[in-house]
Amino acid sequence: MAELRRHPVSGEWVVICPEKSLSAQQREGNGCIFCPGNENLTGPEVYRLNGGGDSGSSGWCVRVVAESPPLFHIEGEFSKKAAGLCDCMQAIGAHEIVVESPEHNIQFENLTEHRIASVLGVLRTRVADLAGDMRLRQVFAFKVRTNDPATHPHWHILSTPFVPGSIKEELKGSARYFSYKERCVFCDYIRQERKSGERIVCEETGAIAISPYAARFPYEVWVLPQDTRRILTKWIPRSSRALRES
């Protein structure tokens, strides 16, 4: 079973999961555990969206299953204890796989707009559900992309009992900016980019996509809500608590 261990110098939590090295590999075509007809080969089903697209006899167009073996498990207690200079505890959280399509060889960008919206809707539903678990502090959803034909396109959703260091620093930086200027840093950043017009990728009702001035890797894009004040008012209290308790 996975375990969380705190780094003695950085203070970061690291997940250790020896079972991962023993997990079964996906196979191409009918042998793929995420292809229709092999639903019994995956972890327990958490959620499914039926109909739409080429669902075939499976009946589903998006399917969410528990990862097996998971990096984080929902059952159990934290049971934090000392390990010499370090700390360790059970890796309480969640680890889910979102299978974005029954088709094995179709990539996300080649899905129809309706099916892309369906996948994003499922991601939003699962993130919102996991965010309701007050034991947990952070939820990630990220896409797995590879040129390996044996890999069925899918996403991972991780919910962790700690705020990772990089995100914690961003939250602290946002709080420092607000403390000094009494304004939201993201609101100011949106206004600056609109004025320059150099790095806006696209802008729609409710959201704006920006290529950041200090991009950390190629093709980095920030997707920001335009009404950041409403979002921050909703989430800052919980974020502040997460920073205190991490």
Do 146 and 48 lie in one domain? The reply is yes
Task: Dump pLDDT digits (tens) for 154-195.
Answer: 999 999 998 888 888 998 999 999 999 988 899 999 999 999
Q: Using CB atoms within 10 A of its CB, is residue 30 exposed (0-12), middle (13-18) or buried (19+)?
A: exposed
Do 66 and 158 lie in one domain? The reply is yes
Cα 220 → chain centroid: 16
Do 29 and 88 lie in one domain? The reply is yes
43/236 Cα distance (integer angstroms): 34
172/182 Cα distance (integer angstroms): 14
141 or 150, which is more confident: 141
We report the CATH number of the domain holding residue 226 as: 3.30.428.10
Do 150 and 221 lie in one domain? The reply is no
Residue ending a domain, among 162, 180, 210, is: 162
Report whether pLDDT(58) > 50: yes
Task: Dump pLDDT digits (tens) for 194-210.
Answer: 999 899 999 988 899 99
Interacting residues of 70 by C-beta distance below 8 A, sequence separation 6+: 2, 17, 43, 94, 95
Residue ending a domain, among 120, 136, 162, is: 162
Do 170 and 89 lie in one domain? The reply is no
Residue ending a domain, among 146, 162, 178, is: 162
Do 149 and 64 lie in one domain? The reply is yes
Q: Using CB atoms within 10 A of its CB, is residue 67 exposed (0-12), middle (13-18) or buried (19+)?
A: buried
Do 106 and 176 lie in one domain? The reply is no
Q: What is the mean pLDDT of residues 226-242?
A: 55
238/246 Cα distance (integer angstroms): 12
222/101 Cα distance (integer angstroms): 26
224/186 Cα distance (integer angstroms): 8
Domain that holds residue 209: 166-245
116 or 59, which is more confident: 116
Highest mean pLDDT among 23-27, 44-48, 229-233: 44-48
| Number of independent structural domains in the chain | 2
Residue 243 has a pLDDT of 47
* Amino acid sitting at position 245: E
